[in-house]
Amino acid sequence: MDAPTTTSADNGTSGGGGDWFTPRNKPTSTPDNEPGTAEGRRPAVIRPVGRQTADPEAPTDGAAAPPASTTDSANTGVPDQERGSPEAIAGPASMPPPTASSPAASSPRPAPTPVTPAPAPFASATAPPAEPRVPAQRPAPVSSPGPARSAPDTEASPDAVLIRRAMAEITPVADKVTSYFYALLFVRHPDLRSLFPAAMDTQRDRLLRALLTAAEHIDNTDVLVDYLQNLGRGHRKYGTRAEHYPAVGECLIGALSKYAAGVWDAEMEAAWVRTYTTISQVMIDAAAADELRAPAWWYAEIVTHDLRTPDVAVVTVRPDQPYPFLAGQYTSLETPWWPRIWRHYSFASAPRSDGLLSFHVKAVPAGWVSNALVHRARPGDIVRLGPPAGSMTVDHTTDSGLLCLGGGTGIAPIKALVEDVAEHGERRPVEVFYGARTDHDLYDIDTMLRLQQSHPWLSVRAIIDQQAHQQLPDAVRAFGPWNEYDAYLSGPPGMIRSGVDALRDIGIPSERIRHDSVEELVAAGS
Ligand X SMILES: NC(=O)C1=CN([C@@H]2O[C@H](COP(=O)(O)OP(=O)(O)OC[C@H]3O[C@@H](n4cnc5c(N)ncnc54)[C@H](O)[C@@H]3O)[C@@H](O)[C@H]2O)C=CC1
> Maximum Cα–Cα distance for the chain, whole Å?
71
Q: Give the CA distances from residue 354 to residues 43, 54, 340, 378, 421, in Å, rounded to whole numbers and listed in that order.
A: 45, 57, 28, 20, 19
Per CB under 6 A, 388 contacts ligand X: no
Q: Of the candidates 4, 128, 386, 473, which one interacts with ligand X according to CB under 6 A? A: 473
Give every CB contact of residue 116 below 8 A, 6+ residues apart in sequence: 241, 242, 243, 284, 288
CB of 399 to ligand X, least distance (A): 26
The nearer residue to ligand X, 46 or 300, going by C-beta atoms, is: 300
Q: Tell me which residue has its CB nearest to ligand X.
A: 408
Q: Does 437 bind ligand X (CB under 6 A)?
A: yes
Pick one of 139, 401, 408, 525: the residue that binds ligand X (CB under 6 A): 408
| 477 contacts ligand X (rule: CB under 6 A) | no
Nearer to ligand X, 160 or 374 (CB): 374
Collect all residues with Cβ–Cβ distance below 8 Å to 421 and sequence separation of at least 6: 394, 402, 428, 430, 457
By the rule CB under 6 A, 494 interacts with ligand X: yes
User: Does 410 help bind ligand X (rule: CB under 6 A)?
Assistant: yes
Residues numbered 338 to 377 that lie near ligand X (CB under 6 A) are 345-346, 360, 362
CA distance 54 to 44: 27
Least gap, CB of 238 to ligand X (angstroms) = 21
Q: Which is nearer to ligand X, 81 or 277 (CB)?
A: 81
In the complex, what is the shortest distance from the CB of residue 370 to ligand X, in angstroms, rounded to a whole number?
9
Residue 53 contacts residue 60 (beta carbons within 8 Å): no
Tell me the C-alpha distance between 435 and 507, whole Å. Answer: 21
Binding residues for ligand X, rule CB under 6 A, total 32
Nearer to ligand X, 27 or 84 (CB): 84
Residues 77-106 within binding reach of ligand X (CB under 6 A): 81, 83-84
Under the binding rule (CB under 6 A), the answer on residue 415 touching ligand X is: no
409 binds ligand X (CB under 6 A): yes
The site map against ligand X for 121-140 (x = CB under 6 A) is --------------------
DSSP state letter for 138: P
Distance in angstroms (rounded) separating the CA atoms of residues 146 and 123: 24
Strands 342-346 and 330-334 turn out to be antiparallel
**Would you call the peptide bond into 172 cis, given omega within 30 degrees of 0 as the criterion?**
no
Query: Considering only residues 105, 134, 148, 495, which one is a binding residue for ligand X as defined by CB under 6 A?
Result: 495
Q: Which is nearest to 271 in space by CA: 259, 285, 251, 257?
A: 257
Q: 6 to 35, contacts with ligand X by CB under 6 A?
A: none
Please, is 465 exposed, middle or buried when counting C-beta atoms within 10 Å of its C-beta (0-12, 13-18, 19+)?
middle
- Least Cα distance to 328 among 514, 132, 495 occurs for 514
Residues that bind ligand X (CB under 6 A): 1, 81, 83-84, 345-346, 360, 362, 407-410, 412-413, 435-437, 441, 463, 465, 471-473, 490-492, 494-495, 498, 516, 521, 526
